[in-house]
Amino acid sequence: MLNANQFIVKRDLPGDPDARSIIAGYHWFGDWGRDTMIALPGLLITTGHFDIARTVLLAFARYVDRGMLPNNFPDAGGTPEYNTVDAALWYFEAVRQYFAATHDTQTVAKLFPVLSEIIDAHIKGTRYNIHVDESDGLLYAGEEGVQLTWMDARVGSKVITPRIGKPIEINALWYNALRTMATFAPVAGKAAEPFRKLADKVKASFSKFWDETQDCCYDVIEAPGIGNDASLRPNQIFAVSLPESPLSADQQKSVVDVCARRLLTSHGLRSLATGVSEYDGHYGGSPQHRDGIYHQGTVWGWLIGPFVLAHLRVYKNPEMARRFLEPMGKQITTAGLGTLSEIFDGDAPFHPRGCIAQAWTVGEVLRSWRATLP
């Protein structure tokens, strides 16, 4: 059994000394909003720790500011940093999975005003040019010098993958959040139609992401100075793996097939497909070099979970989907014993790198494994 409990820690908050949070990884990460919300379902819901999951969700709700969840809490107190576009969107999915497992209407009703605040702030616009484009309902994010998505590496002042514009996974999460709110609204005694209407608009606009030449999705559309970024990255897998997909069935299958052919390894998905000059299949060298290639071909273990769920959705073959997880079962004896690493080399034999124990790798493997069971 993977050691999920090692990531759960006490987070002493004003007025709530028993609050809980999730450490992103050992040995050097703290508790980050994005990592917490991605890891929470696998670490706490799959394992049946519903009370702790509720505590974490309520703790982070206290720190929503201008519709954003903090990306990290300073270790020695102080002001949390709000420099992530996706943490708040992953929050919706964490709450959705909690509700699906517990049917805890009281907590959903309590969180609904916070969730509505997040939606409203994104519609009106918030930090870092994060705003809904009124013309198509899609979410735009980013400005020069900041990194807002999970591909957040930088070397000095240089952002390696700025992804300014309309990133694919951000808009898949945005669509999923709106559909989730339409489901939550009756629970909280509110109208679902405004959320449903905007979600329909987003779905209708999602055709902009389709790259006919590669038969998959652009990574970012309407990027300044670039237009549509056709770099083959794994972010499009979320447009299939999330419970609410804006893609057609044929498009979903094509995305899974392209990712399987170009990005899939035994331990996760490459952050960039091979065959381009930016690709680097070996994670090593100086700190500056490692940061520069962090998302330029390095394999991320947590992405095996969304791939398995997307494959399961398309092919409806649990046994086949489960086979993709088998190498991870062997990996628990390789780096951090009983746990799973953060990243792996992009080239075979895919040596483990980075943190020897990473919360979202463990969480997503647990969650996707459970989904493949009878």
Domain boundaries, the chain: 5-371
Residue 361 has pLDDT above 90, yes or no: yes
pLDDT in tens, 148-180: 999 999 999 999 999 999 999 999 999 999 999
Q: Please tell me the distance from the alpha carbon of residue 167 to that of residue 149, in angstroms, as a whole number.
A: 8
pLDDT of residue 223: 97
3-state secondary structure labels for all residues of 1-54: CCCCHHHEEECCECCECCCEEECCEECCCCCEHHHHHHHHHHHHHCCCCHHHHH
pLDDT of residue 312: 98
In the CATH hierarchy, which fold is given to the domain comprising 5-371?
Answer: Glycosyltransferase (1.50.10)
Q: Please tell me the distance from the alpha carbon of residue 95 to that of residue 314, in angstroms, as a whole number.
A: 25
- Say if CB 220 and CB 163 are below 8 A apart: yes
Name residue 353's beta-bridge partners. 343
pLDDT of residue 355: 94
- Say if CB 111 and CB 99 are below 8 A apart: no
Question: Residue range 14-43: average pLDDT?
Answer: 90
The overall pTM is greater than 0.95: yes
Peptide bond into 349 cis (omega under 30): yes
Question: Residue range 188-201: average pLDDT?
Answer: 98
Helix axes 105-124, 168-187, angle to 10 degrees: 130
Work out the pLDDT band at 17, boundaries 50, 70, 90: confident
Amino acid, single-letter form, for residue 142: G
